[in-house]
Chains A and B, each alone.
Chain A
Amino acid sequence: MLGLNKNDTTLFVVIIILTILAPFLLNPFPTESTLAQFNAGYPDLMEKFVVFGIFAIGFNILFGLTGYLSFGHAAFLGVGSYSAVWIYKLFTYNVIPALILAVIVSGIFAILIGYVSLRRSGIYFSILTLAFAQMSFALAYSVLSNPKFNLTNGETGLQIYANDLQLFHRESLPNFPHIFGLSMGSTYKLGVGPWEFQFNVAYYFCALMMIASFYFAIRLFRSPFGMMLRAIKSNQQRLNYTGLNSRPYMLAAFVVSGMYAGLAGGLLAVTDPLAGAERMQWTASGEVVLMTILGGTGTLIGPVLGAGFIKYFENIFSKINDQVLHQWFTFLPDGIEDFLVAIVHPFIGKGWHLTLGILFMLVVIFLPGGLVEGGQRIARIARRLMNRDKAADAANVSAE
């Protein structure tokens, strides 16, 4: 179907179903229950899942296929956001032109950075991209926000003010990013018994974009172009002596990857119409590296899983505090309860990075293929157990 082989079609259909049903699947606990804080099915977080999923899918096209580790991908995320917000400020809140500009501008930006950075490989490439990203951050944070020429609005971040031009904005249109009049902020709430499910326009719009991005990524992975990129990772010298110029292949991969990041940046401005320089900082670049490695480098689904995993931790684990812990351990004698809370305390709330770090180390050491490898191992064990059961059944039948 759609030019995909059987396995890829299955994967693609599963992804579509999961993203469509996410408001249900991520909201397993009733609103009033104590476990409700583990629910991830609210628009803000679900949007982050899919937007950073797109970011990581794009990053994986570069890192997973070619092995070139970019440490400055957040620059493209930021450029995408700024471009989108400028469309809002000057023309319209409609998200389509905003996203188109975000992708184009980040693509041009990627050509410039890639052209210079790709002169080197390995660690030098990583350092060059890091340097470019930090320069972009400095530009956005201070240089390009002076009173004479204010492109980024510095520390405050670029946002929409009442006196902005907004050439094509009409009274009848929502005062928020919208798609042909349908506001991105509108949410339909469905109450089923004690549960409440939220269906948000921005989420479904971002999810649609992620599904499209995922589809293009599958096609790219399976194309001759994708094979060339894997060949670069495997043996760049051989590729050159085989009559292929690795430079334009690398640049093309870098630009495609940068455009994915630009799309993700634009979508961040779709869910919330502002753009800040911190989006370009090196921690943001590092985060997408973590997402990709945690999920499974070079796999199709891995980056999306990694992005979801990290964003879940960032938003859910950081919300657990001592009070919540006391509630959980309340059945224990007081002394033990306090002791347990004291032990767990550093790993929750603001300490969620600590938990994430430990999990990351465990994954890298025991599952070098990331969460995807974990899934594959579980599937293999399950299959073996099932086969054993079948064999046992067959033995029983023949014995009777």
Chain B
Amino acid sequence: MFQSLMDIISLWALPAIIILILTFGLLRKVPLYEVFTTGAKEGFKVSISIIPYLVAIMVGISMFRASGIIEYFGQLLSPILSHFNVSADIIPLMIVRPLSGSAALGIFSDIAHSAGADAFTTKLAAIMVGSSETTFYVLAVYFGSVGISKLRYALLAGILADIIGIASAILVCNWLF
């Protein structure tokens, strides 16, 4: 029941928003086609204008991942985290999650496959991936699109929220499973 309701919501969310926007526009006598294309023109410009910012951040992240430093952090953290039933496999996921969405999903798939369907590790990894965002990517794209280079406290706030998210994922998992 709950599951089918969730399925319906995820299936209908997007079409419902589109119907709402178009119908409301029609009722208010907005020239839909012209206004749509005027807005859409910006799409190309915005996408191209974020390239320099994306290159800066994604090259940095990709070098960081290739350098092996994440494994080093993992070794450093694993004695502490093992107290909370967090296996060493999960640590790279914790570090990669704010950096790269696709890489995090890749690591999560690996963990799920090797730990098995009903393992605590799989559940913890699933919750960690599902409950957070790729902080660095969001920062680069959003600030890049308007040409802001001084982030002030935005990054610190994002990372602190990520750390709290990870900590609460570990606590919630220990409590429930």
A and B form one complex = no
